[in-house]
Chains A and B, each alone.
Chain A
Amino acid sequence: MSLFGNLSDLPFVEVVALLSRKSGALEISLGPFRSHYQLYVADGSLRGMVRDHSPVEDALQAREEIVKLFVAQSGSFEFTKLSPESLVGNLDLPLQRILLSISTMHDEIGAFREHFADPRTQFRATQALEESLDPTLSDFWQRSHKYFSDLPSGISAQQLSSLLRISLEQAQLYLYKLRAAGLVAPIRAVEQPPKNHQPLAPSIPASAPVAVGVAQPSPKSKPRSDGLIPRLLQALKGKIL
């Protein structure tokens, strides 16, 4: 029995469905000058992956490669049966579930693209993880959380994409979801002012168009009366009196 063909006729999703109860090595060649893959599968799970002769190191990168196969328009494939015992690798990823989450991810990127933060916006961690994340997000979080919490200037989708070798849009989607989950937020390079900051001069009357959220005296912010800002403020107020 032999299982071979081209992804142009039999898309990767369908190949994976066929392999769900088989064990062996699936070779895929996306074409001349393009990547060549070996996927080791046993009992529907991806146990190891080699891309262009080097092993794929972790689940996050494996997902990234699976995305490429998922969207490949063509590429020859051939499956060779092997005994499951010989297939002990560094990965253990349920292939069909991953494909499902990838197709969801594709839809999500399409749906949320407009709302993504700028790829250069720096993010930081806001709270520790309490509940469990879905597996895709959790792989990403495991690889990335140290950057969010350890780097004082935070980390951007652009930097994550090159550090973790994933596509920029995926990094943006992960950030978008982590943010929605309340785990990360954009850095404010300038710190938030003290709550209830004290206006330096008599505050604007409540009827004025801008007076929002005024201002209990705070012992921390004692301005210098000869400072530049109070001078500017006084001059400005002079203009409207």
Chain B
Amino acid sequence: MNPLYDPIASFGTGPKPLKLVVAGPVGAGKTSFVRSLSETEVVGTDELATEDIGKTFTTVAMDFGTLVLDGQPIFLFGTPGQDRFDFMWEVLCEGALGLVLLVAGDKPSEFSQARRILEFITSRISVPFIVGVTRQDLPKVWSSEDVAEYFGLPTAQVVSLNATRSTSSIFTLIHLLELVGAYQLSESFVSSDAGLAEPQNGFGQQ
């Protein structure tokens, strides 16, 4: 917890918050990741799963956490994993500084859904992203290289982590920010309107 930062009270006074989005299929570790990073109590919406999705609690709206880095507030949004909430992915990712798509490395059965989510978002919204392969602490998991191959991404865009550990989650965030920096968007993208930039998607875009 960061006692110095109250996201609600600070809204509208300090620097405009940046938005980071965490997406992925059910059980990928989104809630864990946001909890590992957040300095404030995570506003969660986990509820008993009403459908058989292989776990008891699932996020029904989203996770919300905050982080302050050198005075700059960062809002962390974890999207719900279930397909019927897919309308939220696009809304949340519009104008985000970056996107972390998580996939559980021990659940290859979820990979095609994860790829579908990622491609849907990244084909429509101009957002830098990395793929995080969670559960790397377990004995039998896919490596990030193999997952990169499956997603058709450069290996540098896929990282391994344990989403329940804050150090590992911070490393993941570092990797994302390095990538954001490499896009050289620091002037156009992360301007005063950073995090609230206009969406760039859709049919009419030239």
**A-side interface residues toward B, CB under 8 Å?**
114-118, 120-123, 151-154, 156, 159, 185-195, 197-201, 203-204, 208-215, 220-221, 223-224, 227-237, 239-240
Contact = CB atoms under 8 A, between A and B. Distances in A.
B1 interface: no
B2 to A, nearest CB: 11
Contact of B112 (A115, A214, A233): A115
Contacts of A228: 72, 186, 190, 194
A212 B119 contact: no
Contact of B123 (A187, A212, A227): A187
B147 to A, nearest CB: 10
15 contacts: A152-B206, A190-B126, A193-B179, A197-B156, A199-B181, A200-B177, A200-B182, A210-B168, A212-B158, A221-B181, A229-B180, A229-B186, A235-B69, A236-B170, A239-B170
B171 interface: yes
A235 B200 contact: no
A102 B174 CA distance: 50
A195 B123 CA distance: 20
Interface residues of B, number: 58
Contacts of A115: 112
A172 B125 CA distance: 20
B116 A189 contact: no
A121 B119 contact: yes
A34 to B, nearest CB: 32
A11 to B, nearest CB: 34
Given A153-B202, A197-B182, A209-B136, A117 B174 contact: no
B172 interface: yes
B155 interface: yes
A229 B124 CA distance: 24
Contacts of B116: 116-118, 121
A4 B112 CA distance: 47
B120 A120 contact: yes
Chief secondary structure at chain A's binding surface: loop
A236 B160 contact: no
A227 B181 contact: yes
Nearest to A221: B182
B40 interface: no
Nearest to B152: A185
B174 A233 contact: yes
A141 B173 CA distance: 41
Interface in B126-181: 126-129, 136, 144-145, 152, 154-162, 167-168, 170-175, 177-181
Interface centre among B120, B161, B172 (most CB of A within 10 A): B120
Given A154-B123, A201-B178, A232-B177, 5 more contacts: A121-B120, A186-B123, A200-B181, A212-B158, A213-B154
Contacts of A230: 181
B181 A212 contact: no
Contact of A197 (B119, B136, B178, B200): B178
Contact of B187 (A123, A199, A224, A231): A224
A213 to B, nearest CB: 4
A212 B155 contact: yes
B205 interface: yes
A127 to B, nearest CB: 14
A158 to B, nearest CB: 10
Given A118-B120, A121-B120, A210-B160, A236 B173 contact: yes
Contacts of A185: 152
Contacts of A215: 156
Contacts of A236: 69, 170, 173-174, 177
Contacts of A154: 123
Contacts of B152: 185
B70 A152 contact: no
A10 B72 CA distance: 72
